[in-house]
Amino acid sequence: QFPFGRRLPCDIYWHGVSFHDNDIFSGQVNKFPGMTEMVRKITLSRAVRTMQDLFPLEYNFYPRSWILPEEFPLFVTEVRMMKDSDPSWKPTFIVKPDGGCQGEGIYLIKDPSDIRLTGSIQSRPAVVQEYICKPLLVDKLKFDIRLYVLLKSLEPLEIYIAKDGLSRFCTEPYQEPTLKNLHQVFMHLTNYSLNIHSGNFIHSDNVNTGSKRTFSSILCRLSSRGADVKKLWSDIISLVIKTIIALTPELKVYYQSDIPAGKPGPTCFQILGFDILLMKNLKPMLLEVNANPSMRIEHEQELSPGVFENVPSPVDEEVKVAVIRDTLRLVDPQKKKRKDVHLSCHTYLLIFPTQFQSLHAPITSMKDKQHKHHSLKLSLKLKFYLKLGSCQTLERVSEANEELLEAGRADGREYDSPRSPEAGLPSLCLKQVFPKYAKQFNYLRLVDRVAALFIRFLGVKGTTKLGPTGFRTFIRNCKLSSSNFSMASVDILYIDITRRWNSMGIDHKESGMCLQAFVEAFFCLAQKKYKSLPLHEQVASLIDFCEYHLAALDEKRLVCGRG
Ligand code: ADP
């Protein structure tokens, strides 16, 4: 650990909280610039809402949300309208302070008038959200899922999901919200940090019982009740990919600002914690994304009143060790260097699971034959050693290898050939979902393309906001002004939207137009130009139009340059 920083270059930098060191010029950092800001409740809600405007059906996994205080009047009006159109609708809302965590400051209300808009803590910016009243219950308790997701790269987009996660349980039997039980946090909030203080919290060494269990144990239970677990997984994968697609445009703006293209800098990866709630009908709903999920594998136990001790938590260990191990395997800086190196006895011994795996590999050459023979001998030896150590480990190793083989067969890209040394490190849990399923989701990446236009016109490296000149150049180069949309109207559009976004007080460090404001302006332009189409088609058409004109301009400049 280097609490005061380290000047010698490293292969991997493991930062505790966020990307904060602009003096790193190589290697890989475990945080993306801007991620902490992006997953705050307000920013996440905004990013998802932009996608909901474009693709309402695809993004219906996030509860309807309003941003306080600025959208309070809108919240009141919309709720009144919905109640008028459906008098049987008796909603509950959950108010969550922006930047809060561990359930802090959260409360439930039945009516917009119950919002506490005064007082120091209450006047904090917050998100108010429709409360999901009918969650799936297990043992009569509400629970949520913490899933670990590795964002391995932003460009190209690479996403991995851990195939097991944690289920965190409430400690009081669930009842649908009524005025009487609204305040019972142990019934409505699944946060571990809250429920641990309830007298009913059950620490268990068994992954199938207690107040914190593995997600796989829940899946087993659901499957035995006849639930379609495959469909549930595919819905979860889709939720994760879509959420990351909503976050990537702004992340790219932060990225180019902290790590400008063309200059030496590190690459980034990040483990994210997705909090997901299952509804009674098994539909997964996104609650929030954590940029810095706890990787603790111990929990605190109160030995006597006020005396706490850290004790190992097998459930956390089972899930989290696998996530970190797979992450390190995937970002292994030696991976590329080793690609051409032949297997050696030395390698076998270093990476023992290779033995089990190589036994399954088809023999294709004399060298392979020798290698297999050698593997067999070593494998027997290792089996013996492992038996001495732990039977469970051996089981896990072979299980993981079986899976690796299966994955390797299905997806040669991720796991290379079974004979390469890095293939010896089995995937314990992380499964690639993007680009694997890119074809199904690429049509959603419209705002990414808008962000690429925005970044092109930012001009000065290191900024995240577009000045009025940049905006004018964008309009001119993309040939968007016309007789009924003069440059004076362009300036008015810029000033109007920029002023409104800046008055929301998100980022006062720089003046100018932020990406979200640019996206709003872009949608306006698209609606103006392609009136009768649905919004996503208007936006897609305008992007095509802009990209076409910019490509023509680049071509012209290239020719002129050559000339
Ligand atoms: P925090 O970051 O403070 O943990 P969350 O958004 O995760 O905030 O909310 C805390 C808990 O409240 C969640 O774990 C979940 O149990 C409950 N919760 C949050 N949003 C909703 C919702 N829309 N519907 C039902 N329960 C919710």
What ranges make up the beta strands (E) of 407-480?
A: 430-434
When mean pLDDT is compared over 89-103, 164-178, 505-519, the highest value belongs to 164-178
Query: What b/e string do you get for 238-269 counting C-beta neighbours within 10 Å, with b at 16 or more?
Result: bbbbbbbbbbbbbbbbbbbbbbeeeeebbbbb
Query: Which residues have CB under 8 Å from 71's CB, separation 6+?
Result: none
DSSP string, 145-213: EEEEEEEEETTTTEEEEES--EEEE-SS------TTTTT-HHHH---HHHHTTSTT----SSTTSSSEE
Residue 358 lies in a domain: no
Q: Is the CB of 65 under 6 A from ligand 1?
A: no
In the numeric block, the tokens 């703006």 are attached to 253
**Angle, helix 446-458 to helix 41-54, in steps of 10 degrees:** 120
pLDDT confidence band for 435 (50 / 70 / 90): very high
Asked if residue 326 and residue 196 are part of one domain, the reply reads yes
Residue 215 lies in a domain: yes
Residue 340 lies in a domain: no
Q: Which of 130, 287, 290 to mutate to test the pocket of ligand 1 (most atoms within 8 A of CB)?
A: 287
Pairing of strands 126-130, 107-109: unpaired
Ligand 1 mean position to 287 CA, how many Å?
Answer: 6
Q: Is the CB of 131 under 6 A from ligand 1?
A: yes
CATH of the domain at 496: 1.10.238
Which region among 171-185, 337-351, 508-522 has the lowest average model confidence (pLDDT)?
337-351
Q: Is the CB of 191 under 6 A from ligand 1?
A: yes
Domain boundary among 287, 317, 333: 333
Query: Which residues have CB under 8 Å from 274's CB, separation 6+?
Result: 145, 146, 147, 148, 149, 239, 240, 243, 286, 289, 290
Question: Measured from the CA of 63, which atom of ligand 1 is nearest?
Answer: 23
CATH of the domain at 139: 3.30.470.20
**Domain coverage including residue 545:** 445-561
In the numeric block, the tokens 């474009």 are attached to 54
Residue 37 lies in a domain: yes
Query: Which residues have CB under 8 Å from 474's CB, separation 6+?
Result: 453, 456, 457, 466, 480
Domain boundary among 333, 361, 395: 333
pLDDT tens per residue across span 450-474: 999 999 999 777 789 999 999 999 9
- Looking at residue 130, what is its pLDDT? 97
Asked if the model's pLDDT at residue 405 lies above 90, the reply is: no
Residue 430 lies in a domain: no
Residue 72 lies in a domain: no
Ligand 1 mean position to 312 CA, how many Å?
Answer: 26
Is residue 15 classed exposed, middle or buried when 0-12, 13-18 and 19+ CB atoms within 10 A define those classes? middle
Question: Measured from the CA of 129, which atom of ligand 1 is nearest?
Answer: 23
Q: What distance in Å separates the CA atoms of residue 373 and residue 112, rounded to the nearest whole number?
A: 72
Ligand 1 mean position to 94 CA, how many Å?
Answer: 8
Indicate yes or no: pTM above 0.85: no
Residue 91 lies in a domain: no
Sign of CA dihedral 533, 534, 535, 538: negative
Ligand 1 mean position to 289 CA, how many Å?
Answer: 11
Q: Is the CB of 287 under 6 A from ligand 1?
A: yes
Q: Is the CB of 100 under 6 A from ligand 1?
A: yes
Tell the residue nearest (CA) to atom 9 of ligand 1: 103
Residue 216 lies in a domain: yes
- Looking at residue 156, what is its pLDDT? 95
pLDDT tens per residue across span 353-382: 322 333 333 333 444 444 444 444 444 333
- Looking at residue 545, what is its pLDDT? 96
Asked if the model's pLDDT at residue 340 lies above 60, the reply is: no
Domain count, the chain: 2
Structure-model confidence comparison of residues 210 and 95, the more confident one: 95
Q: What distance in Å separates the CA atoms of residue 26 and residue 18, rounded to the nearest whole number?
A: 17
Q: What distance in Å separates the CA atoms of residue 172 and residue 168, rounded to the nearest whole number?
A: 13
pLDDT tens per residue across span 269-289: 999 999 999 999 999 999 999
CA 432 to chain centre: 13
The structure tokens listed for 280 are 């009674």
- Looking at residue 342, what is its pLDDT? 38
Q: Is the CB of 136 under 6 A from ligand 1?
A: no
- Average pLDDT score, the chain: 82
- Looking at residue 506, what is its pLDDT? 59
Asked if residue 326 and residue 456 are part of one domain, the reply reads no
Domain boundary among 306, 333, 360: 333
Which region among 14-28, 31-45, 99-113, 513-527 has the lowest average model confidence (pLDDT)?
14-28
pLDDT tens per residue across span 185-216: 999 999 988 888 888 888 877 777 889 999 99
Q: How far apart are the first and last CA of the chain?
A: 56
